[in-house]
């Protein structure tokens, strides 16, 4: 089973980059399914129904979300009705949406789950204990986890904790692609952060001048998505078709020279 996972899509530049490069990557790598983190797709924070449908139309089959899932209220009803939208599973009971679901991939079943970290993040239930509670409910051995967290130590610790019980743990949220991709001893593929699809000359996708001014003055400021040529970051996963263990994980990155 081959999976193409795209990092956090940031605003219109990120969506344009996906529209421009994804067909080429699909032709070159022939993934069985395309998954992307879409929690920053609407102006850099949150997602709307129109944008979710725009991304689905590009060939993305599952959209994972993160700590900005609640920023656009218009998405709330869609979270309950659209199984292809997955928000963190370790949020309190009763909130809109689902934290995992199962998707057919050829003749197999792939489970996709999102868990939010707790270090330097908004409050969420323990992702380690949440995983332990949910894993017995998932019958397929094919399980991809988007671990949406700030601290690389928490991401690495979680991946080692679930090694052998998940096919892959892919870190998102920090928007900076890390060079630590590997397959753990139990067969779980891991990378601390997949990176982002968004403006390369930026501060994690945002306008540098606004971010720098906020650091210097300490004054609050509304962030805007940066302009300019975007970068597209992702990983390509190959999973064993019987046990769901990872065979390979490859980092992908494409820097566009102009803003399309």
Interatomic CA distance for residues 183 and 190, integer angstroms:
6
Q: Is 68 a catalytic residue?
A: yes
Q: Using CA atoms, how far apart are residues 214 and 56, in angstroms rounded to an integer?
A: 35
Of the candidates 165, 178, 91, 183, the residue with the CA atom closest to the CA atom of residue 130 = 91
Strand runs labelled E in the chain: 2-6, 8-9, 33-37, 62-64, 85-86, 100-105, 108-116, 142-148, 168-172, 182-183, 189-191, 196-199, 230-239, 246-255
C-alpha 96: how far from chain center: 19
Which residue is catalytic, options 20, 68, 123, 201? 68
Decide: helix, strand or coil at residue 104: strand
CA distance linking residue 206 with residue 226, whole number of Å: 5
CA proximity to 103, closest of 52, 64, 65: 64
Looking from the CA of 116 toward its CB, the CA atoms found within 13 Å total 21
H helices present in the chain, as ranges: 11-29, 49-57, 76-81, 127-134, 152-162, 208-217
235 three-state secondary structure = strand
Handedness of CA 70, 73, 75, 78 (dihedral sign): positive
Active site residues: 68
């Amino acid at each position: 089973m081959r999976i193409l996972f795209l990092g956090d899509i940031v605003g219109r530049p990120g969506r344009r980059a996906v529209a421009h490069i994804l067909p080429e990557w699909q032709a070159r790598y022939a993934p069985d399914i395309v998954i992307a983190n879409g929690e920053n797709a609407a102006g850099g924070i949150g997602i709307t129904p129109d944008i979710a449908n725009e991304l689905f139309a590009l060939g993305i089959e599952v959209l994972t979300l993160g700590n900005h899932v609640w920023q656009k209220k218009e998405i709330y009803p869609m979270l309950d009705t659209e199984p292809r939208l997955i928000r963190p599973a370790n949020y309190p009971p009763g909130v809109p949406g689902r934290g995992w679901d199962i998707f057919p991939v050829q003749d197999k079943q792939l489970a996709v789950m999102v868990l939010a970290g707790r270090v330097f993040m908004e409050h969420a239930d323990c992702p380690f204990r949440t995983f332990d509670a949910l894993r017995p409910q998932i019958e397929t051995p094919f399980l991809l986890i988007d671990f949406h967290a700030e601290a690389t130590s928490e991401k690495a610790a979680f991946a080692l904790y679930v090694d052998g019980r998940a096919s892959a743990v892919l870190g998102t949220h920090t928007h900076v692609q890390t060079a630590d991709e590997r397959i753990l001893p139990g067969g779980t593929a891991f990378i601390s952060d997949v990176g982002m699809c968004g403006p390369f000359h930026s501060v994690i996708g945002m306008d540098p001048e606004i971010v720098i001014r906020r650091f210097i003055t300490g004054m609050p400021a509304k962030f805007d998505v940066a302009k300019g040529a975007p970068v597209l970051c992702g990983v390509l996963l190959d999973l064993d078709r019987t046990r769901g263990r990872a065979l390979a994980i490859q980092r992908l990155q494409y820097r566009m020279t102009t803003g399309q």
